[in-house]
Amino acid sequence: MAVTRSQPPISEQEPLPGGDNRFKLLEATMKKHQYRPDALIEVLHRAQELFGYLSTDLLFYIAHSLHLPPSRVYGVATFYHFFSLAPKGEHSCVVCLGTACYVRGAAAILAAAEQMLGIRAGHTTPDGQLSLETARCLGACGIAPTVVFDGAITGHQTPEQVQVWLERLVGGRSG
Amino acid sequence: MDLSELLAIAEHENAMRRPICIRCCTALGCQSAGSLSLKQRLEEAVAEIDRTDIEVIGVGCMGLCGHGPLVQVDPEGVLYEHVHAADAPSIVAALDGGEATAPHGDPHHPFFTLQKRVVLENSGIIDPERIESYIAAGGYQALYRVLHDMTPAEVIDVVTRSGLRGRGGAGYPTGLKWATVAKSHGDRKYVVCNADEGDPGAFMDRSIIESDPHKILEGMAIAAYAVGADQGYVYVRAEYPLAIQRLQRAIAQARRLGLLGAQIFDAGFTFRIDIRVGAGAFVCGEETALMASIEGRRGQPRPRPPYPAESGLWGRPTLINNVETFANIPPIIRNGAEWFASIGAETSRGTKVFALTGKIRHTGLIEVPMGVTLRQIVEDMGGGVPEGRVKAVQTGGPSGGCIPAALLDTPVDYESLQRVGSIMGSGGMVVMDDATNMVDVAHFYIEFCKDESCGKCIPCRAGTAQMLHMLDLVRAGQATAADLARLEQLCVMVKETSLCGLGQSAPNPVLSTLKYFREEYEALVRG
């Protein structure tokens, strides 16, 4: 995704996108950090929490507010794995691929999920229902292999169990 | 807040305790297995029989995470494993001679008896969400003593004589680091706690924070006094929401009681702590990258010197220690340098917390004196692999190496592990059985390092990609013996020329598997 200056930042188009409460909440976070540039990562966290992902316009808005060049904001947003520049699915399934999970068969779990959903890890189903992702390690190695469904960690998973979970989340779907 | 107020809180807390205590683990592992609803059912079951001599408390990690949710009943110390919410009434009934429906654990198993708990002394015992519980266990008394009875130089002297070395992996003497920061000049100094536990297969720091967050805060405050800092940061991974939440709560509680903030214990000492949440970059565990991230920039390392001790956050002297290092500080102040130095091995004093995972019967968190052997940990404490034999033990995560079963009698200390081609690392210990293919393991780690390379220096950025490519060829049966030699050469080059620890240690998993399991590579090589 290329970021160009062709579109003026939202904040220059209009003071605040009217009626969207999320901007007020984001503004409050930036104010709490006194609009300091070193709060950029905290602000991006909050923005993603509020909007689900970081759109180009949103990045421009943040850059303008924190008095940072857009290149810097874009650089940080793309450097860290946690930030997403594209919309996510309604539901999420994160398969942990940390060492403990790997040794206990996480690869087979991921393969089963990919096959069932018909998408690769890092992608969202075409109907926007579910995003399939992988994690490096969630630190829940004691109950490996682990999978996170909509934010809830579940341990001791098998490919069969994961398929049952997914079916519950997105309804029956053939790969 | 003064000492008498602190002691009054402890006294009140202890007076409120009931004779019988049902401890229910509420750390991440057990929570994921349903321990929160279990705790609620236990409370309801106690209320139903109207017994006022029983209390139910949520505690941090009890260690045996693979068998959770765990419940332990004091004073007898009866341990229950794999407890479901439905078992709650029977556990309470068992206090009157009934039979609990949950399986009994064995608190006298070597998994527990071979441990020496210093860092984890309160873990699984106190309620991590209440500062009073920590204070009742003697918390914040070390900070009081330091502020009122010791000069900063005396504090550094105690830490130096204790022989404590950094628990983040490199093992740099902690006292020496503190002394350097104390000597450095700056209009402001910072203390940073590195809780960016990125090694896959490691969860020591997460467990420590979730189980005993105030201990970290107290350790940081003592460090700040010793080096002359007034601002602290805990840099914690975004992947650890429960740890972040408990840390936030702990900071707010400490602030409310005046144990953080201005004029702590009326001693003219001011120290504030803020949390900085990472955003998923393994390289941020490297200290210069971590500082860049705290400053809101991309987490890319820079050459050292200057070391953070001289020029760190915003160019000011900065002390960076790992979670476990800070957690060792209050017990060292409380019990003295000699006590700490009497634990462990010659050059590695004290204990080390390990996350024991992989193909092993008892997975979980253990703390052992330095110098115990890998065999004791894997076979006695861990109970060995469920099926087949132990093939290798991986320590140190992507920066470490695979130690073959033949070397299981290696003692766990910084130097011994380095001699066999691995490192202590932060404490991840992944056991692999004979069904594990070591070329796949090397591939797994190199793929990880390639993805996590920040891209700043060429040896790491291009080297890890080439290493991965060559391992792909090996796995596809398309490599020759000459390719293996080239792979080894490339490993040495990346190790010696990379900018930071990530690249310098990335080849370790390949080098150690090439050294000890070369036949597995050769079996895949053409002609």
Predicted confidence (pLDDT) at residue B318 exceeds the cutoff of 50: yes
**Cα distance between residue A137 and residue B445, in whole Å:** 13
Pairwise CA distance, residues B120 & B345, whole Å: 19
Query: Rounded mean pLDDT of B382-410?
Result: 94
A72 lies within 8 A of chain B by CB: yes
- b vs e for B276-310, b when ≥16 Cβ sit within 10 Å of the residue's Cβ? bbbbbbbbbbbbbbbbbbbbbbbbbbeeeeebbbb
B-interface mutation test, from A96, A138, A143, A147, most B Cβ less than 10 A away: A143
Are B358 and A79 within 8 A, CB to CB? no
Tens of pLDDT along B72-127? Answer: 999 999 999 999 999 999 999 999 988 999 999 999 999 999 999 999 999 999 99
| Neighbour count for residue B388 (Cβ, 10 Å) | 12
Strands (DSSP E) along B237-287, which ranges? 272-277
Positive or negative, the CA dihedral B50, B51, B54, B55 is positive
Using CA coordinates, name the residue in chain B closest to A43: B296
User: Which residues from B are below 8 Å from A136, CB to CB?
Assistant: 198, 200, 239, 280, 282, 448, 452
DSSP-derived letter for residue B373 is: B
Q: What does the pLDDT look like over B241-295, one tens digit per residue?
A: 999 999 999 999 999 999 999 999 999 999 999 999 999 999 999 999 999 999 9
Of A36, A142, A154, the CB nearest to B357: A142
Q: Measure the CA–CA gap between B398 and B506, rounded to whole angstroms.
A: 6
Q: Do B203 and A143 touch (CB under 8 A)?
A: no
Assess whether pLDDT exceeds 80 at residue A24.
yes
Query: 10 Å Cβ neighbour count for B461?
Result: 17
Residues in B 373-402 with any Cβ partner in A closer than 8 A: 394, 397
User: What's the whole-number mean pLDDT along residues A39-62?
Assistant: 96
Chain A interface includes B430 (CB < 8 A): yes
Identify the pLDDT of residue A18: 59
pLDDT tens track for B341-373: 999 998 999 999 999 999 999 999 999 999 999
Q: How many CB atoms lie within 10 A of CB B363?
A: 26
| pTM metric for this prediction | 0.95
Residue pLDDT, tens place only, B197-248: 989 999 999 999 999 999 999 999 999 999 999 999 999 999 999 999 999 9
Closest residue by Cα to residue B490 from B474, B472, B475, B468: B468
pLDDT of residue A171: 74
CB contact under 8 A, B203 and A140: yes
Chain B interface test: which of A73, A79, A133, A165 (most B C-beta within 10 Å): A79
CB contact under 8 A, A139 and B206: yes
Which amino acid, A22? R
ipTM: 0.92
CA-based end-to-end distance of chain A = 29
B247: enclosing H helix or E strand: helix B241-256
